[in-house]
């Protein structure tokens, strides 16, 4: 099947945007309307048992691939459904975008184009490049924690990412099929486990500068869960180092053939 405008920009690769949603009723319309639909072939929304009208709004917007979890499976569990559904639809490129309107969907074109060009298999939108995080209202304690964790991870993983904690990511089909993301946590640490798997599989990660917005309706984890997340990040990073040095053989790093 030929893809029209999207095909020209993305070398006839099928682009699917996935929206892991939880109580996103107040921001979903703004997010969806800013998606570049001229190049996006499919949009998938996975609702993680929201208590608001997220699913009803998704149907009104015409998001035909709307999936509702009857029980909350967590942020990681939501993404597992997102990626598995996108791959089943034949996606060549998958962009994960939070529907809380914290990240601008206008970067989808740039991120997908980098993958379509064959330069990288993975692209992250970084809030840290260009100082977008603080300008966008990121709480200072989160910014400091972000920088310290990123420094620790770069040292132990021998990388130079500006940020490991963004929720705006693009993947090639090959990368998602290669890593065993289904074996990861169903909680927020899922994102960092994916990074460790990608590095272990030999993928480099490109980054683009991303402005961000922090406001009352945007989703965020509280201080207590942030601490738990930070401890989890440390564990994943140390686990990656032990795996690379051959001291452990964790199922998280059993790559797909």
Q: Give me the residue spans of the domains in the chain.
A: 5-248
Instruction: Classify each residue of 98-121 as buried b or exposed e, where b means 16 or more C-beta atoms within 10 Å of its C-beta.
Output: bbbbbbbbebbbebbbbbbeeebb
Q: What is the pLDDT of residues 205-244, one digit of tens each?
A: 999 999 887 655 555 567 778 889 999 999 999 999 999 9
CA distance 98 to 71: 19
Q: Span 5-248: which CATH code?
A: 3.90.550.10
CA distances 150 to 5, 126, 230, Å, are 37, 12, 11
Q: How confident is the model at residue 4 (pLDDT cuts 50, 70, 90)?
A: very low
Q: What is the pLDDT of residues 157-204, one digit of tens each?
A: 999 999 999 999 999 999 999 999 999 999 999 999 999 999 999 999
CA distances 98 to 9, 35, 104, Å, are 23, 12, 9
Question: Strand runs (DSSP E) across 10-147, as ranges?
Answer: 15-21, 42-47, 65-68, 93-96, 122-126
Angle between helices 223-244 and 190-200 (to 10 degrees): 20
Q: Do residues 100 and 187 touch, judged by C-beta distance below 8 A?
A: no
Neighbours of 237 (CB within 10 A): 21
């Amino acid at each position: 099947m030929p893809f029209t405008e999207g095909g020209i920009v993305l070398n006839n690769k099928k682009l699917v945007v996935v929206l892991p949603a939880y109580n996103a009723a107040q921001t979903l319309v703004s997010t969806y309307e800013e998606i570049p639909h001229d190049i996006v072939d499919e949009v998938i929304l996975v609702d993680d048992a929201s208590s608001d009208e997220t699913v009803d709004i998704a149907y009104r917007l015409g998001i035909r691939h709307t999936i509702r979890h009857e029980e909350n499976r967590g942020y990681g569990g939501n993404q597992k459904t997102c990626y598995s559904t996108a791959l089943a639809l034949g996606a060549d490129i998958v962009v994960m975008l939070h529907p809380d309107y914290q990240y601008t969907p206008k970067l989808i074109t740039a991120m997908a184009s980098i993958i379509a060009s064959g330069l990288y298999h993975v692209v992250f939108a970084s809030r840290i490049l260009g100082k977008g995080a603080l300008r966008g209202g990121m709480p200072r304690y989160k910014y400091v924690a972000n920088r310290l964790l990123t420094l620790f991870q770069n040292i132990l993983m021998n990388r130079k990412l500006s940020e490991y904690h963004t929720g705006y990511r693009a993947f090639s089909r090959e990368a998602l099929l290669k890593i065993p993301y289904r074996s990861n946590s169903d909680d927020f640490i899922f994102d960092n486990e994916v990074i460790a798997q990608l590095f272990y599989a030999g993928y480099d990660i490109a980054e683009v500068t991303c402005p961000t917005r922090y406001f009352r309706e945007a989703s965020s984890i509280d201080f207590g869960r942030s601490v738990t997340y930070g401890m989890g990040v440390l564990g994943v990073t140390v686990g990656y180092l032990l795996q690379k040095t051959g001291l452990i053989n964790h199922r998280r790093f059993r790559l797909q053939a």
